[in-house]
Structure 1
Amino acid sequence: MLLLTALTVAPPARADEAPTPMEDNRRITLGYIEIAYELGGLLDPNLQPGGSSNVRPNWFVFAPHASQTGGQGMLGAALARRMIDAARGQPSLSVLQALDRFGIVGTVRLTVENLSLELVLRGLPIDAATSIASLTTAMNWEALADPRTFSTTASRFASLYWSAPGVLPLDKAESVVITLERTLHEGNLAIFTDIGGSARLYLDWRRGLTGEVTPERVLTEFVLQDAIAQEARVAYAYALAHANDTPRPYLIDTLFPGMHWKSLLVAAFALYEEARLAPTPAARDALIAMGNNYVAWREQHDMAQPVFTPAVAHADEVSRSALLEALTPLLRTYFGTLEWNYADYAYSQPDPDGSLLTSPPTEYNWATFWDRWTGILYAFEQAYGDPSALWAMPEPLVDPTAG
């Protein structure tokens, strides 16, 4: 609501232009919600559209909430862009004036103000500092209450600013903002196009079948481009044998070296069908969790990772990895009524460096696959304890800057 209020003055309507990142985000969130209910209805025949279920959520029930989080980050980037555009016409004389201009109020204002002032002390001009600090409005800014996290975050933001391309201060700040917006948008698109698209193909294929749908039919008859049937069968058989292992198998590259991610998706769909037919809720839930790990591994390993650490950097961006490292302590997703944030995860783990001078959340980097993967598994386990929470689906965001 804060960001929507700050962005109420939209530019003139666009004509014949590609969708904005926020418009793509809305389409993707809605698409995931549709898939979540269709696939969720197979696992729980009592689930109705718009309703809730106590059956363990499949990966596609998590996806709308993750997409919404990306959209909120894009809203934060949109706010920062508007602050930069306004400053080009009339620079702010103080941090307070910059915050007042966009109506940033409430408890988040104090955090943005303090972070902005800290960045000013580190040499950033007022509007550059405030626009970069405003990126935190859609995140877990409460994590900055730890002075160690606050200091490290400010230092990292300042380093990003000074490393940014451009000569003028606002151009440097805009490079930081552009980097975040593109990273979120590209990741959102890549995951939905491939994994969401594969799910849509699967559900359409399933709907066209006659006779009973079984895991064997999925492994034998469902064709997904680039998937290898024998690989899918190996992954499926392993999951059946190890679904009740503790910890649940998660080192997928070690288990199946070289396996194509599309093969893992076919195996996951077969596991969801196996779960549907399971004799007990416990057996059903274990199989769903294995399917989730398969989908999530390839989502993060093959779709997200190239976006977060691209082989060739854009000339007008800062380091995506460095930006995600700065933002890692502030990451938060609401899975319906259940909150997950990276800071809680980090504090729950052994301190990576064992030093009281550094806060654990600052010792991880969302751009590093293993830091991200273990945090996601932690989120899964939290959600498995309250499955109905995830069915409080998000209201897809509207791009307030689009015509």
Structure 2
Amino acid sequence: MRLLRSAPSSRLFCVLALATALTSASTQAQPAATPLEDNRRITLGYIELAYAVGAVLDPTLQPGGASAVRPNWFTFAPHASQTGGEGMLGTAIARRVIAAARGQPSLSVLHALQRVGLDAQLRVAPEQLGLELVLRGLPIDVAASLASLITSLNSAALLDVRTLSATAARFAALYSSAPGFWPLDKAESIVVTLERTLHEGNLAIFNDIGGSGQLYMDWRQGAGAVTPERVLAEFTLVDAVPSQASQAYVYALAHANDVPRPYLLDQVFPGMHYKSLLVAAFALYEKARVAPTAAERDALVAMGNNYIAWREQHDMAQPVFSPSVQPPDEVSRVALLQILTPLLRTEFGTVVWNYADYAYSQPDRDGNPLTSPPTEYNWALFPDRWNGILYAFDQAYLQPTGLWVMPTPIEDPTALSGGS
């Protein structure tokens, strides 16, 4: 994958500016935090943890600074959370399109996007997709609202006409299957599905892994001289099994330099409770801290990252992305994530990762030149997501200081307009 270096992203600035411009149809106070308010809290919490855990590996690291040491999982986390927030902001824009249409239908896709404040730069890809959806029979405002969901995504993926065609066809099929009778209600069910999926995943991962990271740093602060052996013997997490954590730690020491690095952890550790991998990862970070060479340190950090990421994706994200029971007011989360997979992108500071780059780098799955490789993957399926994440890790490891350019957490436009 070709890595992109950029100055502060003008696109992100546009999205953030749009957030402050959007207004809410209701000013009624809501006691519960909104998804974007939760996202802001989570992103800020991850930034704090990134520097705390980063300082374990590099004692010279200061808050707001940067380190050339291989980034740990918590360094990636703020950027991933920010990506989820940008997706939620896309749902806020789509809701705004729907709300405006309930008052007065739009004259065109362009009109629908213009009247919710999307500037020329942000509306190019949504307009392109929206027009394609109209050609497939969707009403103008429905098409504009669904197309708004890609506002913060990798719109360049749609330059491949095969991807554009598949994306539009899948959106049209999902719309036809959506609950509700009226077109705008059916569109809103798709928007609601994406917002809930992003929000629930954000919360689940932060509560589990972010909470574990905070517990570890709290324990470490009062533990005195910390060694990997003391971590395995004394630090505990609910549901983690000490013997399993020790097993994972010993295995990592023996295989940290394997090529490829061990990643099929269900085969390596059959029957393991993957909460144990978190304890092992913290022990590996401590071992990396005192490694005699940078190469050995980096290998141990990468093993720890894989352990935490497995717990994150296998146990916390998977049930959210592919629930056993579909809520009656939602569309299929698996189908919706398949639509968006070719457009996924994350700015890891100055390092930009696109799922399409990963897909194009792999052997063509179906061998059909009429289908684009990115449309052959689905973020809701664990193997597709897991291998894409490992690919992102390996690319980001090439520019470790870039990840320390932390994101500016997104403000909820509804909260801003409420005047509180």
TM-score (norm 1): 0.98
- Matched letter for residue 245 of structure 2: A
Q: Deviations over 1:349-391 (max 9, x none)?
A: 1111111110000000000000000000000000110000000
The structure-2 alpha-carbon separation of the partners of 1:142 and 1:16, relative to structure 1 and needing over 3 Å to count, comes to closer
Alpha-carbon distance in 1 for matches of 2:280, 2:18: 45
1:5 and 1:103 in contact (8 A); partners too: no
Structure 2 unaligned runs (5+)? 1-12
TM-superposed CA distance for 1:121, in Å, is 1.2
The structure-2 alpha-carbon separation of the partners of 1:201 and 1:109, relative to structure 1 and needing over 3 Å to count, comes to same
- Matched letter for residue 125 of structure 2: T
Pick from 178, 192, 196 the counterpart of residue 182 of structure 1. Answer: 196
CA RMSD of aligned residues (A): 1.1
Asked if residue 97 in structure 1 is aligned to residue 115 in structure 2, the reply is no
Alpha-carbon distance in 1 for matches of 2:22, 2:399: 39
SS in 1 for 2:107: coil
Asked if residue 22 in structure 1 is aligned to residue 36 in structure 2, the reply is yes
Aligned to 1:81: 95
- Matched letter for residue 351 of structure 2: L
Aligned to 1:294: 307
Asked if residue 154 in structure 1 is aligned to residue 168 in structure 2, the reply is yes
- Matched letter for residue 118 of structure 1: E
Alpha-carbon distance in 2 for matches of 1:319, 1:259: 30
Aligned to 1:261: 274
Aligned to 1:370: 383
TM-superposed CA distance for 1:304, in Å, is 0.2
Pick from 124, 128, 153 the counterpart of residue 139 of structure 1. Answer: 153
Q: Deviations over 1:34-69 (max 9, x none)?
A: 011001001001111100000000000000000000
1:41 and 1:48 in contact (8 A); partners too: yes
2:67 and 2:401 in contact (8 A); partners too: yes
TM-superposed CA distance for 1:105, in Å, is 2.5
Alpha-carbon distance in 2 for matches of 1:307, 1:362: 21
Between Structure 1 and Structure 2, how many residues are aligned? 402
Matching of residues 213-228 of structure 1 within 5 Å? 213-228=226-241
Alpha-carbon distance in 1 for matches of 2:55, 2:122: 39
2:46 and 2:210 in contact (8 A); partners too: yes
- Matched letter for residue 2 of structure 1: C
Aligned to 1:2: 14
1:25 and 1:71 in contact (8 A); partners too: yes
Alpha-carbon distance in 2 for matches of 1:96, 1:47: 48
Q: Deviations over 1:220-251 (max 9, x none)?
A: 00011111000000000000000000000001
Aligned to 1:343: 356
- Matched letter for residue 249 of structure 1: P
1:6 and 1:102 in contact (8 A); partners too: no
SS in 1 for 2:69: coil
2:155 and 2:343 in contact (8 A); partners too: yes
Aligned to 2:5: none
2:282 and 2:304 in contact (8 A); partners too: yes
Aligned to 2:328: 315
Q: Deviations over 1:167-212 (max 9, x none)?
A: 00000000110010000000000000000000100100110113x1
TM-score (norm 2): 0.94
Q: Deviations over 1:254-281 (max 9, x none)?
A: 0001111210100000000000010111
Which moves more between the two structures, 281-290 or 201-210? 201-210
Pick from 60, 63, 86 the counterpart of residue 46 of structure 1. Answer: 60
Alpha-carbon distance in 1 for matches of 2:28, 2:181: 30
Which moves more between the two structures, 97-106 or 189-198? 97-106
Aligned to 1:172: 186
Matching of residues 239-258 of structure 1 within 5 Å? 239-258=252-271
TM-superposed CA distance for 1:99, in Å, is 1.8
Alpha-carbon distance in 2 for matches of 1:329, 1:98: 25
TM-superposed CA distance for 1:10, in Å, is 2.8
- Matched letter for residue 386 of structure 2: W
Alpha-carbon distance in 2 for matches of 1:131, 1:6: 16
Which moves more between the two structures, 7-16 or 189-198? 7-16
Pick from 46, 51, 60 the counterpart of residue 37 of structure 1. Answer: 51
Alpha-carbon distance in 2 for matches of 1:244, 1:276: 17
Alpha-carbon distance in 2 for matches of 1:61, 1:19: 25
1:4 and 1:400 in contact (8 A); partners too: no
- Matched letter for residue 387 of structure 2: T
SS in 1 for 2:347: strand
- Matched letter for residue 54 of structure 1: A
- Matched letter for residue 101 of structure 1: R
The alignment-based identity, stated in percent, is: 71
Aligned to 1:57: 71
TM-superposed CA distance for 1:108, in Å, is 3.8
TM-superposed CA distance for 1:115, in Å, is 1.0
TM-superposed CA distance for 1:107, in Å, is 3.8
Matching of residues 319-338 of structure 1 within 5 Å? 319-338=332-351
Structure 1 unaligned runs (5+)? none
2:365 and 2:376 in contact (8 A); partners too: yes
2:351 and 2:402 in contact (8 A); partners too: yes
